[in-house]
């Protein structure tokens, strides 16, 4: 059973926790909107579709938001305990800092476990939905958005221009030009009309346009030779009223959430990623063996050339180039250079494949290991945050926020830097996924020790006293001369 003190500590922690989580989640979502904004424009997406996409994308950032939230909330809660002298009162009552931290350490552990299951079972599914939705949006043609005086090619197979658009719903138009896009083996057609209007069609997949007082310019070049094209003039047909239907099903019937991408490693759970890692290992081994065999084959070809038409005993002897006759020497040097150049070209050609294979393998491993490592980060961030909060004894959104942001930036930069090294093959991806935690863990343990021993780590007067002998040498004597 939780005691009254434990409930009070947990309640104090979850107050800033929910507020900070909401703010950080909103910030990450705004960043996603800013990055993806260009894909939404002019695609005719409904507000519901945009909100759904942002929700799919937002779920995947929880793995980064939760550790930062725990860090900031723990600093703020323990800072408030210190600022209101509640921490001092607890210590005076015989309650150690370890006992105060215990309930929140349990909460951080539960949150870490929840993050693991969330990252392993829920995020992959939402990653699949988000990536497929983004792909389908990118493939979607822009929605019909006619601008007066501009050529518009949003209607499949046609180019249109309207000089003027008016009416309550923009249904009336003037100065109409419609050109059908056609290849060299199709009839060309252009329509010019004085006025027109959009009329609701019986089938929603078609756009119905009624045109008044105009001409249809058309040729009959389809399937005819060049000489016939030169002789035959264009045909003009005058009309009073012309009704045209344009197929826009490609625009309005695009399945935004259709799953076309299913083989991305980010769609898999931790257990499924094991099979992907094993498969990638086997493919890399086969690729590296192929490259090695190719390089050795080209290298040995030079030795075979030098041993050609010679006895087995001669092949065992070391050949001195100076003893070879002039023409033969040039021939050997030329062929050696050619083979080395071919070897260099082969190595250069395989380099990109080699780099991409290593990078893909590192990405898969790092993604898999971070399902666990980010959960461990939550606990490490709690140790750092709780210790810092009890030392600085400052609550609110001032100094704690600055310290938390600095720590998180250091963690994030380490993640990116080490990740890039692993992608290039300079580090094991397993180590790369865990190295930021391995670096921060000793710091968290050290900060906890300092907090338990009531260290004056952030006491400015302590550092001034240490530096006083040095600063005293460079400071001027401010006493007035008449008192000397």
Number of domains into which the chain is organized: 3
User: Confidence class of residue 66 from pLDDT cuts 50, 70 and 90?
Assistant: very high
Tell me which of 223, 252, 281 is where a domain ends.
252
pLDDT at 458 over 60: no
Phi, psi of 320 (to 5 degrees): -100, 125
The stretch 53-65 carries a mean pLDDT of 84
Q: Assess whether 133 and 32 both reside in one domain.
A: yes
Q: Assess whether 382 and 296 both reside in one domain.
A: no
The stretch 114-132 carries a mean pLDDT of 88
pLDDT at 366 over 70: yes
Q: What is the DSSP string of 432-444?
A: HHHHHHHHHHHHH
Q: What pLDDT sits at residue 9? A: 87
Q: What pLDDT sits at residue 225? A: 60
Q: How far is CA 358 from CA 361, 414, 428, in A?
A: 5, 20, 10
pLDDT digits (tens, 9 = 90+) for 261-282: 777 788 888 888 888 888 888 8
Of residues 341 and 217, more confidently modeled = 217
Residue at token pair 């501009």: 150
Continuous H helices in 393-455: 399-423, 429-452
Residue at token pair 């006992």: 99
Q: What is the DSSP string of 123-171?
A: HHHHHHHHHHHHHHHHHSPPP----TTS-B--STTEEEEEEEEESTTS-
pLDDT at 111 over 90: yes
Q: Assess whether 172 and 111 both reside in one domain.
A: no
pLDDT digits (tens, 9 = 90+) for 375-390: 999 999 999 988 888 8
Q: What is the DSSP string of 43-62?
A: S---HHHHHHHHHHHHHTTH
Instruction: Specify if 146 maps to a domain.
Output: no
Q: Assess whether 10 and 126 both reside in one domain.
A: yes
Q: What pLDDT sits at residue 375? A: 92
Q: What pLDDT sits at residue 226? A: 61
Structure tokens at 371: 């399902």
The stretch 61-73 carries a mean pLDDT of 89
Angle at alpha carbon of residue 9, lines to 6 and 11, rounded to 5°: 105
Q: What pLDDT sits at residue 233? A: 62
Q: Are 260 and 132 in contact (CB under 8 A)?
A: yes
Q: Assess whether 61 and 177 both reside in one domain.
A: no
Q: Are 395 and 361 in contact (CB under 8 A)?
A: no
Q: Assess whether 243 and 272 both reside in one domain.
A: no
Instruction: Specify if 263 maps to a domain.
Output: no
pLDDT digits (tens, 9 = 90+) for 158-205: 888 888 888 877 788 889 888 887 766 677 788 899 988 888 777 767
* CA proximity to 59, closest of 3, 116, 123: 123
pLDDT digits (tens, 9 = 90+) for 280-313: 888 877 777 776 666 666 556 555 544 554 444 4
Please name the residues in contact with 220: beta carbons below 8 A apart, sequence gap of 6 or more.
187, 232, 235
Instruction: Specify if 86 maps to a domain.
Output: yes
Q: Are 74 and 80 in contact (CB under 8 A)?
A: no
pLDDT digits (tens, 9 = 90+) for 34-57: 776 666 665 566 777 778 888 888
Cα–Cα distance, 38 to 322 (Å, whole number): 68
Q: What pLDDT sits at residue 109? A: 93
Angle at alpha carbon of residue 260, lines to 28 and 30, rounded to 5°: 10
The torsion angle over the Cα atoms of residues 327, 329, 333 and 338, rounded to 10 degrees, is 50
Of residues 467 and 19, more confidently modeled = 19
Q: Assess whether 177 and 203 both reside in one domain.
A: yes
Q: Assess whether 391 and 358 both reside in one domain.
A: no
pLDDT digits (tens, 9 = 90+) for 392-429: 877 666 677 788 888 888 888 998 899 888 888 888 88
Q: Assess whether 282 and 312 both reside in one domain.
A: yes
Tell me which of 252, 279, 309 is where a domain ends.
252
Structure tokens at 96: 């150690």
Cα–Cα distance, 79 to 10 (Å, whole number): 14
Cα–Cα distance, 173 to 153 (Å, whole number): 17
Cα–Cα distance, 27 to 16 (Å, whole number): 16
Q: What pLDDT sits at residue 117? A: 92
pLDDT digits (tens, 9 = 90+) for 145-158: 677 888 877 777 78
The pTM assigned to this predicted structure is: 0.66
The stretch 55-77 carries a mean pLDDT of 87
Q: How far is CA 416 from CA 359, 423, 428, 432, 481, in A?
A: 14, 10, 15, 10, 60
pLDDT at 139 over 70: no
Q: Assess whether 163 and 228 both reside in one domain.
A: yes
Q: Are 159 and 146 in contact (CB under 8 A)?
A: no
Q: What pLDDT sits at residue 311? A: 43
Cα–Cα distance, 404 to 69 (Å, whole number): 9
Q: What's the mean pLDDT when you consider all of the chain? A: 77
pLDDT at 479 over 70: no
Question: What is the percentage of the chain residues whose pLDDT exceeds 90?
Answer: 9
Instruction: Specify if 281 maps to a domain.
Output: yes
Q: What pLDDT sits at residue 455? A: 67
Lowest mean pLDDT among 27-31, 68-72, 380-384, 453-457: 453-457
Instruction: Specify if 467 maps to a domain.
Output: no
**Backbone Cα Rg of the chain:** 37
Q: Assess whether 174 and 298 both reside in one domain.
A: no
Instruction: Specify if 457 maps to a domain.
Output: no
Cα–Cα distance, 456 to 391 (Å, whole number): 7
User: Confidence class of residue 110 from pLDDT cuts 50, 70 and 90?
Assistant: very high
Instruction: Specify if 417 maps to a domain.
Output: no
Buried b (16+ CB within 10 A) or exposed e, 421-445: bbbeeebebeebbbbbbeebbeebe
DSSP-assigned letter for residue 152 = B
User: Confidence class of residue 132 from pLDDT cuts 50, 70 and 90?
Assistant: confident
Q: What pLDDT sits at residue 483? A: 47
Residues in the chain, overall count? 484
| Containing structural domain, residue 130 | 4-140+374-396+437-447
Residue 323 CB burial class (10 angstroms; 0-12, 13-18, ≥19) = exposed
User: Confidence class of residue 323 from pLDDT cuts 50, 70 and 90?
Assistant: low
Cα–Cα distance, 415 to 377 (Å, whole number): 12
Cα–Cα distance, 64 to 26 (Å, whole number): 13
Instruction: Specify if 326 maps to a domain.
Output: yes
Q: Assess whether 246 and 331 both reside in one domain.
A: no
394 sits in which H/E element: none
Q: What pLDDT sits at residue 404? A: 80
């Amino acid at each position: 059973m939780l005691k009254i003190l434990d409930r009070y500590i947990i309640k104090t922690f979850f107050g800033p926790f929910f507020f900070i989580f909401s703010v950080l989640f909103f910030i990450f979502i705004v960043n996603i909107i800013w990055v993806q904004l260009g894909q939404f424009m002019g695609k005719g997406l409904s507000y519901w579709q945009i909100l759904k996409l942002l929700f799919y994308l937002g779920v995947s950032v929880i793995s980064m938001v939760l550790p930062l939230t725990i860090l900031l909330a723990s600093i703020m809660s323990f800072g408030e305990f210190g600022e209101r002298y509640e921490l001092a009162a607890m210590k005076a009552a015989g309650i150690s800092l370890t006992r105060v931290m215990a309930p929140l350490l349990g909460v951080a552990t539960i949150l870490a476990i929840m993050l693991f299951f969330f990252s392993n079972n829920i995020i992959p599914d939402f990653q699949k939905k988000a990536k497929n939705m983004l792909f389908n949006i990118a493939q979607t043609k822009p929605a019909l958005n006619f601008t007066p005086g501009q050529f518009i090619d949003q209607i499949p197979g046609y180019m249109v221009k309207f000089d003027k658009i008016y009416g309550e719903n923009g249904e009336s138009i003037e100065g109409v030009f419609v050109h059908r896009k056609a290849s060299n083996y199709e009839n060309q057609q252009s329509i010019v009309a004085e006025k027109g209007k959009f009329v609701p069609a019986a089938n929603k997949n078609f756009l119905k346009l009624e045109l008044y007082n105009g001409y249809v310019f058309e040729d009959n070049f389809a399937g005819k030779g060049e000489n016939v094209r030169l002789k035959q003039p264009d045909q003009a047909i005058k009309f009073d009223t012309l009704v045209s239907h344009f197929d826009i099903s490609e625009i309005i019937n695009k399945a935004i959430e259709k799953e076309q991408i299913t083989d991305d490693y980010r769609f898999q759970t931790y257990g499924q990623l094991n099979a992907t890692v094993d498969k990638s290992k086997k493919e890399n081994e086969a690729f590296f063996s192929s490259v090695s065999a190719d390089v050795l084959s080209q290298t040995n070809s030079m030795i075979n050339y030098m041993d050609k038409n010679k006895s087995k005993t001669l092949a065992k002897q070391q050949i001195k180039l100076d003893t070879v006759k002039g023409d033969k020497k040039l021939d050997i040097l030329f062929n050696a250079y050619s083979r080395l150049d071919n070897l260099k070209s082969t190595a250069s050609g395989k380099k990109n494949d080699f780099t991409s294979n290593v990078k893909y393998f590192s990405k898969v491993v790092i993604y898999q290991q971070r399902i666990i490592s980010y959960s461990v980060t939550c606990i490490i961030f709690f140790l750092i945050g709780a210790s810092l909060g009890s030392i600085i004894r400052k609550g609110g959104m001032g100094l704690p926020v600055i310290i938390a942001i600095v720590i998180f930036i250091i963690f994030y930069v380490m993640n990116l830097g080490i990740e890039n090294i692993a992608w290039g093959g300079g580090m094991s991806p397993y180590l790369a996924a865990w190295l930021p935690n391995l670096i921060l863990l000793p710091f968290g343990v050290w900060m906890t020790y300092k907090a338990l021993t009531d260290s004056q780590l952030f006491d400015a007067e302590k550092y001034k006293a240490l530096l006083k002998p040095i600063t005293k040498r460079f400071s001027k004597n401010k006493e007035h001369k008449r008192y000397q």
